[in-house]
Amino acid sequence: MSQRDDDLPDDLQNDLSALYRQAVPGDARRDQQILHQSLMRLRWGHRRRWLLGAGGAMAAAAAVVLIVLLHKPPMAATPQFALFALGNPPPQGQVDILTAFRLSKALKLGQHPSPAWDRIGDGVIDQRDVDAWAKLAVRIDAGATP
């Protein structure tokens, strides 16, 4: 753009200013009103930031408390665990469905049964062993030879 394009004659600029930038008379009361409303908004913004900060800290603290409360203590601490002793499996002639129930209960309590309870022989005592003992009990009850 050339220098000429960027310029306007002074009187044209003056007339444009007269047309499009009219002064609004000062009014102290109105100024006070505008400032009052604006400062209310300003204070709200600062208060909100403080509340968000405090709220965030409280939420973090509440989360920690919740985690502690919901965390289950080790099974060894419960009285039920201490009272229930699985022991070894009964001789095969004495296996019944209660044998499977007892193993299942021991597993739920978090106990570590002896290797004698590993019915399927995979080195891990789990629900599959419970099922195996249960099947054995049923076969024995049905008269099958173990």
Question: Please, what is the minimum distance in Å from the beta carbon of residue 17 to another protein?
Answer: 5
Question: Please, what is the minimum distance in Å from the beta carbon of residue 46 to another protein?
Answer: 6
Looking at the Cβ atoms of 11 and 70, the one nearer to another protein is: 11
**Residue whose C-alpha is closest to residue 84's, from 112, 120, 43:** 112
Looking at the Cβ atoms of 4 and 72, the one nearer to another protein is: 4
Residues that bind another protein (CB under 8 A): 1, 4-9, 11-13, 15-28, 30-46, 49
DSSP symbols for 62-120: HHHHHHHHHSPPPGGGSHHHHH----SPPPGGG--HHHHHHHHHHHHTT----GGG-SS
Question: Please, what is the minimum distance in Å from the beta carbon of residue 80 to another protein?
Answer: 54
